[in-house]
Amino acid sequence: MNGPHTNAHPRLTSLAHGGGCGCKISPAILSQILAKMPVGIMPKELLVGTETSDDAAVWRLNDQQALVATTDFFTPVVDDPADFGAIAATNAISDIYAMGARPIFALALVGMPVQVLPAETVAAILRAGQQVCQSAGIPIAGGHTIDSVEPIYGLVVLGLAHPDHIRRNRDAREGDVLILGKGLGVGVYSAAFKKDALPEALYREMIASTTQLNRVGAELGQDAAVHALTDITGFGLAGHVLEIARGSGLDAQVSLSALPLLPGVSDLIAAGFFTGASDRNWESYGSDVEIRDMQQAQKVLVTDPQTSGGLLACVAPESVDRVLSVFQAAGFSRATAIGTMTAMQSDRPKVRLNI
């Protein structure tokens, strides 16, 4: 059961109040906080800021280059230090790919309870993050460390793209088909893991999914048929689809039967495994998600917080098969068309779930 951890020191997950992207502040509370923020400087070079909760900020350098900047960090979702470091680094780099850009370098963000965790554990976390960056073809060029109560690790990542290749979450078009690149269920896995109920085979599935770099996003950014991109993380599938709908002024129709799931997820949900973040997500945006006679399992699936989740692409309908083949060729075997962007049917954007 579960991934490896040493008995000589506390489990990493036991030192954190939440894990992975499930420890994000809920969408509702985040909206309240940001609503009180004063309007900042908005120079013309800032192509993407905070206006639609996109994955990264984008600054136009010149007619040929835009700088893409993001940061992401979290507390442990697993106990193995190397797995934690690899997941956190993969997750942070994903935001660059989700903008259609390619990463160029990273900075490490490290907070560790140094009186509790041995130096070799912290070193293993950082070493794994560095190995992921090497796989992405980028260096870790610096960073910052603090002594903190909970273990925290992540990256600042910078990337580059042609300004015309930036893919925002607000540019979906009516009729676009939604393609999801990875299977859902990481939050369900993590809930079972924390209760020592995740079989080793499913733990390996979780690690394989969460450490798969979304590098295909850089290719999708150059594809004119891909109108919008994001990645599915802590707010769950419904939350991130809703961000696209709100940014684009559209509704989204999502087929529940089409959703790709990681192995064993349905059985784990039936056994009662889901995260508290799933409930917080629903409380935040459930009023804008519609389905007749929604069951608990369906609610868990669409709100399940994904740590290092898949890309979500809005694709012109005539190009769906070709874009799916791009995902498949890049190693995303579970990539699936899951829904469609449609005209708004009410006074505000909705995610409409179909069985």
Residues labelled as active-site residues: 21
Burial class (CB in 10 A: 0-12, 13-18, 19+), 63: exposed
DSSP 110: E
Tell me the three state secondary structure of residue 313: strand
Q: 170 with 52: CB under 8 angstroms?
A: yes
Q: 88 with 155: CB under 8 angstroms?
A: yes
- CA torsion sign for 137, 324, 68, 96 is negative
CA–CA distance, 280 with 303 (Å, rounded to integer):
9
- Report the amino acid identity of residue 100: G
CA–CA distance, 326 with 311 (Å, rounded to integer):
13
Cβ atoms < 10 Å from Cβ of 215: 19
